[in-house]
Structure 1
């Protein structure tokens, strides 16, 4: 199921929140060191960013058709010659309907 993911506070024109659910959160990790880029190019597709968004969206209840007020936080951490990017998405799943 595809969901509308909004970072702003304003809803699309003509839409209203019919039901709101508990806030959801998902943190994903991506290796961003030079070694990770080389390994990624040869061993698998680089869909890490989309996978994180998809996993975040999957945390919402099945009847929620949007996630509003989405905020994104990032940080990095290095372990020797390997550096990781941590991306956290937080938002509120809602059921939007036409006014």
Structure 2
């Protein structure tokens, strides 16, 4: 089952909320600095940002078909091994239906 993410306050016309679940939150890191040649080649097919989104969606209950009120917060930090973007997703899983 796929999950639809809604960042808006209102659902599209013709949709209703049948059930909501407890809020979920996921924080992940994305390296935004130059990784160097060797690490770059080893990880060239890795999409860290998509992995954070997938982790967020996967944390919703299996019966949910939407996550409502999705909000995103970011922060960055520089360390000796690189610069990292911290991405936090927050939302409320729900079951929505078309009327």
- Give TM-score, length-normalised by structure 2: 0.90
Question: Aligned partners of 1:95, 1:5: CA distance in 2, in Å?
Answer: 12
Any unmatched runs of 5+ in structure 2? Answer: none
Any unmatched runs of 5+ in structure 1? Answer: none
Matches within 5 A, 1:7-26: 7-26=7-26
What is the CA RMSD across the aligned residues, in angstroms?
A: 1.5
Q: State how many pairs are aligned.
A: 98
Which residue in 2 is equivalent to 1:61? Answer: 61
Matches within 5 A, 1:1-80: 1-34=1-34, 36=35, 38=37, 41-44=40-43, 45-80=45-80
What is the deviation of 1:81?
5.1
On the 8 A contact 1:26/1:89 being kept in 2, the answer is: yes
- Give TM-score, length-normalised by structure 1: 0.90
The 3 A distance-change label for structure 1 pair 68 and 33 is same
